[in-house]
Structure 1
């Protein structure tokens, strides 16, 4: 069992008991006298340390309620992000484009790969946190009839409602997801497509929060994501799990910079060797604007 699963009160009790035992041992063995007031003073000090260690207000605010961890650890996350963001913004050229640019700048302690191994599976940031949600909503687009991701997600977080979209007609496994035959676009291009906002409105999800968007639309991301990211900010998903396809370098940079501007961090990156050396799976997590402070202004090269 990890220490994170033990309640702060239990941890505190253990610390206090061990401290009293240590002081008693010291009194028994030490030739120097120990004042009776030393014990309560030390215990109070330990109490204050323990209570301070449970403070996670900063991470709660800056992750929009997704993380609760020590302020000191969260501040270190911000330093790591700023350092890697600076490197990412150098946009180094490379024959295999993604090898030397757009590296993860955030790390989820309990990221979990959901779905099949290899092509089709996706890394999800701390998916166990969704178990406590009473209104968990997940979108999966462009899976071409492969429901392995949806099946595993439903097993792991049965409280989540999953909607699957594809341009072709498929049938979701029973009690796993709801299928919609839809082409993602702007409502005009591609022909017969629907925009992100119109899809959410038709499903009556405008007042709900989308936790995850898993999407693989075979290069269509470069046309679709500007539309998605220009929609109402309340409609943006917390996590975006996507396969990014090779294309014009300018379009690739614009894709990542749009996500960056909309407060997404990169928490996972892996090469999809099934598709070839130029295809990469990325996973993004949306944080509160306050997480970034001045790092974006400092790291952006104009």
Structure 2
């Protein structure tokens, strides 16, 4: 029994159809996908009901799922124990005081290399209508301020230096002043004196970027003797080599005032003993071990 032949016109039609399907599939796969509407990070955070613990323990700054936050606490407690052992090393900072906290969307603000700083989740400042930034010891380098203003135009930025410089237009307000203990005759002004003179006593300082050439060790004890409401949320600082005891005392001071370390990098431009650190202030509740934290040690 012979197989019936397919008419030539039908064969041609099938071939044309297959060619069309092939071309359509190729074009669909090769064309780049276009996002019709960009999604900002602010819309990607969990709802407040999903992140009650992180909101409470970060004083409203971070909103993360509870499971993620608990794991962040585990990381903190494990690394904090290592940090407190204070290992010795010929090059100071190499094996001590490592970061014990991580910000999901940290961003480098300012230029590459010396002058730029890592900031914890700066996009979260979008919701801060009265965002306030202090930059101390600029030495005429305004790259941080310029970049910060581009990223967060609504933030109010004040720059301080003992020498006189001029801020770039519409970027910051410059103040010729030396931060210190405010005791004559060194001509410095204390933390409280500066804040009062700027009428910022009822404001929250979101970021303090500071590089005062070793003066940090005598300056910060004065900061933490002021009202807790004036403690900066983030401290971005270059630490300079000095007596080992003073350095450990500095870190313990910040630790005792509820700061975690979220960034550490060597400033090779200045030398092997100079390190950039970034701290984030959290609520005291963060530092209380839960049963799960103890179990996961």
Kindly state the Cα deviation for residue 266 of structure 1 after the two structures are TM-superposed.
0.2
Q: Distance in 2 between the 1:226 and 1:191 partners?
A: 18
Listed one character per residue, the Cα deviations across residues 232-262 of structure 1 (whole Å, up to 9, x for unaligned) are: 1110100000000011000000000000000
Partner of 2:121: 126
Kindly state the Cα deviation for residue 55 of structure 1 after the two structures are TM-superposed.
1.0
Q: Distance in 2 between the 1:185 and 1:78 partners?
A: 34
Three-state SS of the structure 2 residue aligned to 1:265 is: strand
TM-score, normalised relative to structure 2: 0.82
Which structure 2 residues correspond to residues 1-302 of structure 1 after superposition, within 5 A? 55-188=50-183, 191-294=186-289
Which 4+ residue blocks in structure 1 deviate beyond 4 angstroms?
1-8
Q: Taking structure 1 as reference, are residues 287 and 189 closer, same or farther at Cα in structure 2, changes over 3 Å only?
A: farther
Listed one character per residue, the Cα deviations across residues 94-148 of structure 1 (whole Å, up to 9, x for unaligned) are: 1111010100000000000011101110000001111121110000000100000
Structure 2 residues without counterparts, runs of 5 or longer: 1-37
Q: Distance in 2 between the 1:161 and 1:127 partners?
A: 14
Partner of 1:40: none
Q: Distance in 2 between the 1:98 and 1:225 partners?
A: 19
Which structure has greater helix proportion? 1
Which of these two proteins has the greater Rg computed from alpha carbons? 2
Report if aligned partners of 2:42, 2:124 keep a CA contact under 8 Å in 1. no
Report if aligned partners of 1:162, 1:176 keep a CA contact under 8 Å in 2. yes
Report if aligned partners of 2:42, 2:123 keep a CA contact under 8 Å in 1. no
Q: Taking structure 1 as reference, are residues 110 and 174 closer, same or farther at Cα in structure 2, changes over 3 Å only?
A: same
Three-state SS of the structure 1 residue aligned to 2:170 is: coil
Listed one character per residue, the Cα deviations across residues 26-49 of structure 1 (whole Å, up to 9, x for unaligned) are: xxxxxxxxxxxxxxxxxxxxxxxx
Kindly state the Cα deviation for residue 2 of structure 1 after the two structures are TM-superposed.
7.6
Q: Distance in 1 between the 2:184 and 2:219 partners?
A: 10
Listed one character per residue, the Cα deviations across residues 38-74 of structure 1 (whole Å, up to 9, x for unaligned) are: xxxxxxxxxxxx98x9511000000000111101110
Q: Distance in 2 between the 1:273 and 1:261 partners?
A: 29
Partner of 1:28: none
Kindly state the Cα deviation for residue 200 of structure 1 after the two structures are TM-superposed.
0.3
Matched positions, count: 255
Q: Taking structure 1 as reference, are residues 249 and 75 closer, same or farther at Cα in structure 2, changes over 3 Å only?
A: same
TM-score, normalised relative to structure 1: 0.81
Kindly state the Cα deviation for residue 230 of structure 1 after the two structures are TM-superposed.
1.4
Structure 1 residues without counterparts, runs of 5 or longer: 9-49
Three-state SS of the structure 2 residue aligned to 1:180 is: strand
